[in-house]
Structure 1
């Protein structure tokens, strides 16, 4: 799998404003930005991002996934900390 495939899956499935994906082919880092995360616990946010990717995790196309989640307001505040 490549970074853009994961990005498109997440944006489409979760109706995200943006997603940034980096990785080496099996280990990926995801920054997901969307209103969908407002009011969710951290665990629920993680589960929400994992859900559309479970098929790829179960067949080992994605071996490891690191996730950071932001609402658009949080992203505006914190994006410089993430190098964007």
Structure 2
């Protein structure tokens, strides 16, 4: 079953409650999303570490061919 943008944002908000989070359904199909997560916890982390933290927050929703979330273009950063 396809996910909704607000469901993705809710999962991310649980892990990053103070973050600035924007989730967009890129194709309008509930399968291809873009997310930007800006959080202080990313300070000092490299990009791979930041993205791993975000994927962990998604609690397996992207795992395997049958995952609920098919594609996520991800931008992560610490606040300026």
Unpaired segments ≥5 residues, structure 2: none
Contact 2:32 2:72 in 1 (8 A): yes
Q: CA–CA distance in 2 between the matches of 1:7 and 1:71? A: 18
Residues 34-60 of structure 1: CA deviation (Å, up to 9, x unaligned): 101100011101101111214211242
Partner of 1:76: none
The alignment covers a number of residue pairs equal to: 73
Partner of 2:45: 40
TM-score, normalising length: structure 1: 0.77
Contact 1:32 1:68 in 2 (8 A): yes
Unpaired segments ≥5 residues, structure 1: 74-84
Partner of 2:62: 57
Contact 1:16 1:36 in 2 (8 A): no
Residues 1-57 of structure 1: CA deviation (Å, up to 9, x unaligned): 111111111011123422000113011100001101100011101101111214211
TM-score, normalising length: structure 2: 0.80
Cα RMSD (Å): 1.4
